[in-house]
Amino acid sequence: MGARWYNTVWRWHFYAGLLCMPFILWLATTGTLYLWKPQIEALIERPYDGLAADGPRASAAAQVAAAVAAVPGSTLRRFQLPEDASQSTRITVTSAGVDRRVYVDPYRLRVLHIEREDSRLMRTVFLLHGTLLAGAPGSYLVEIAACWAVVMLLTGLFLWWPRGGAGLAGTLYPRRRRGKRVFWRDLHAVSGIWVAAAALVLISTGLPWAKFWGSYFLEVRKVTGTLDGPPDWTIGGKKVVLDEHAGHGGMASMPPPVPSGPAIDRVVARTYPLGLAAPVMILPPAAPGAPWSVLAQPANRPLAASLTIDGDSGAVTSRRDFAQRHWVDRVVGYGIALHEGALFGLVNQLLGTLTALLLATLSVSGAVMWWRRRPSGVLGAPPARSAPRAGALLLGTIATLAVAMPLFGLTLILALLVEGFVLRGWPAARKWLGLSSIAA
């Protein structure tokens, strides 16, 4: 491929990068914080743990009663089994549509702390990362940036590809004695090649959470007959509940719980010996006579399980482990565990942090290169030359990306329409954006 192809790809890379760089820095920062969620939450909750086990534990029903009494007018939402004898019991109660987490000393029935679930630090970080705390519009923005980040990475690989007998210097490691211009160029290119594969994995494993792509994925699964119950991940920051009567997915809150009564003691007693992976949540039935739900919800998704237990007899009436889910759910589950740094423990967290650091380096170095070379009074895009003929390979690649990432296709069409109709008669804007062609 000749100079015209290189120039065209360079321009795609420039515009995609300029759109993505602020989002990449944001996602790298918030994503790194969320990677270390277990350690951060353990530090935050330390004042409510380390309890002295100097007597018998109170019954689960008594602990629930203490939590409910601490939030007048509330009912039980879920009961989290303590992971060891020194840990307080986390009990979530709901009142007026608001969930609150109550930390209860299981030995003395003291309420140690109360906080709203939606204001917990890591929940806030999660929403900052996925929706910018702006709901569906924020999720759409993050998804658009992620889609164009894929374009940025793919075009960057094309630009990086060694040409003319280039050696390892400037290709796999930066040259430090060739001046600042070469150093920043090398730092950008080398960071990109080392992080490209990991970044593509991170983007693909994060898309199921996105509002548009996650809903799109659900619809594709319905059409292909691969949908096997509601996903166990959130879409656009909300849990998905399938409407069994209408036959299509929707976002909904959990149904209002019924009072727990003494049945919770039988459910807890039956759950402990099962050895489920922590955290283990016990949810009361949504209607009298219905079974209780028990959910093992470890960050390492392959260890997850869901059960139902009869509150009267304590018998397990159903159980479904991760291995029994549809293969699509298992693939997504492995991807989510990898994305959250939980699939293979500390090594996964360290690799995720390194990936985020390289992505931040990629963005900062790209911004420095742009700022240093941009002429005064214009955006500083690479010069526009006559574009090469769009062959079957290019059109096929764009079509594939548009089908795989619909928001990429939609925003690409929007950009072409704006360029072709809005900016056609606006020479000053075309010049500033670098859209005016010059001779090849």
Q: Which DSSP string corresponds to 369-397?
A: HHHHHPPTTS--PPPB-PPPP--HHHHHH
Largest distance between two CA atoms of the chain? 86
- Report residue 286's pLDDT band, with 50, 70 and 90 as the boundaries: confident
Residues 96 and 194 in one domain: no
Query: What is the structure's pLDDT at 439?
Result: 41
Residues 248 and 364 in one domain: yes
Using CA atoms, how far apart are residues 191 and 398, in angstroms rounded to an integer? 25
Query: What is the structure's pLDDT at 437?
Result: 61
What are the structure tokens assigned to 150, written together? 């894929």
Residues 432 and 413 in one domain: yes
Domain end (from 325, 353, 377): 325
Q: Is the pLDDT of residue 64 over 90?
A: yes
Residues 402 and 419 in one domain: yes
Q: Is the pLDDT of residue 251 over 50?
A: no
Residues 367-418: pLDDT tens digits? Answer: 999 998 888 889 998 887 777 777 788 889 999 999 999 999 999 999 999 9
| Residue that the structure tokens 């630090």 belong to | 121
Domain end (from 288, 305, 325): 325
279 preceded by a cis bond (ω within 30 of 0): yes
Residues 68 and 173 in one domain: no
Residues 261-279: pLDDT tens digits? Answer: 689 999 999 999 999 999 9
Residues 67 and 2 in one domain: no
DSSP H helix total and E strand total for the chain: 13, 11
Residues 267 and 228 in one domain: no
Residues 131 and 190 in one domain: yes
How many structural domains comprise the chain? 2
Using CA atoms, how far apart are residues 423 and 431, in angstroms rounded to an integer? 10
Query: What is the structure's pLDDT at 308?
Result: 97
Each as own residue / partner, the long-range contacts of residues 332-336 (CB below 8 Å, 24 or more positions apart, any chain) are 332/205, 332/208, 332/231, 332/233, 333/232, 333/301, 333/302, 333/304, 334/301, 334/302, 335/201, 335/204, 335/205, 335/208, 336/205, 336/208, 336/233, 336/301
> Is residue 25 within 8 Å of residue 358, measured between CB atoms?
no
Residues 36 and 92 in one domain: no
Residues 271 and 247 in one domain: no
Residues 75-133: pLDDT tens digits? Answer: 999 999 999 999 999 999 999 999 999 999 999 999 999 999 999 999 999 999 999 99
Average pLDDT score over the chain: 89
Residues 249 and 195 in one domain: yes
Domain end (from 285, 307, 325): 325
Q: Is the pLDDT of residue 232 over 50?
A: yes
Residues 187 and 214 in one domain: yes
- Beta-carbon neighbour count of residue 349 at 10 Å? 19
Using CA atoms, how far apart are residues 343 and 359, in angstroms rounded to an integer? 21
Query: What is the structure's pLDDT at 208?
Result: 95
Give residue 287's domain range. 52-106+259-325
Q: Is the pLDDT of residue 170 over 90?
A: no
3-state helix, strand, coil in the chain (%, to 5): 55, 15, 30
